[in-house]
């Protein structure tokens, strides 16, 4: 479904370019701005990316286990609430949605870690070749 051209231009103008490209299987630490009354603070939410939505309203879902309870949070990529996204580690996965992790716990929920080049390293290797 395509958007109206004016809305497409507005969406392109509001998109953030400072966030890394997260993929399902990545373990990320999302720094979120939280407003409590008149104060504002930053809180970290660290977990596995289990889904990513590629539409005009792009978002990604992060899952973590806190006190043996699974917690999922959906972050819109273009939101001003997100301060920073850090990729802690990358894991090898063979599907786009990792909803099956909801039913697993402990060692069964582990993913195989893989080395992924950082964007700066990829640019340097591309210049050399």
- Tens-place pLDDT, residues 67-101: 989 999 999 988 889 999 999 999 999 999 999 98
pLDDT at 124: 60
45 C-beta neighbours (distance < 10 Å), count = 16
pLDDT beneath 50, residues of the chain:
none
pLDDT at 11: 77
Long-range contacts: 44-47, Cβ < 8 Å, 24+? Answer: 45/73, 46/88, 47/71, 47/73
pTM of the full structure: 0.78
CA distances from residue 91 to 34, 71, 121 in whole angstroms, order as listed: 29, 20, 18
Answer yes or no: are the C-beta atoms of 61 and 50 closer than 8 Å: yes
């Amino acid at each position: 479904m395509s958007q109206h051209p004016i809305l497409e231009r507005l969406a392109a103008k509001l998109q953030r370019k400072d966030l890394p490209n997260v993929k399902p299987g990545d373990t990320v630490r999302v720094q979120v701005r939280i407003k409590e009354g008149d104060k504002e603070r930053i809180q970290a939410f660290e977990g596995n990316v289990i889904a990513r939505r590629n539409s005009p309203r792009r978002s990604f879902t992060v899952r973590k286990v806190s006190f043996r309870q699974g917690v999922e949070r959906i972050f819109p990529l273009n939101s001003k609430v997100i301060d920073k996204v850090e990729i802690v580690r990358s894991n090898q996965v063979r599907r786009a949605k990792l909803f099956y992790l909801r039913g697993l716990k402990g060692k069964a929920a582990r993913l195989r870690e893989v080395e992924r080049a950082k964007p700066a390293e990829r640019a340097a290797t591309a210049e050399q070749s």
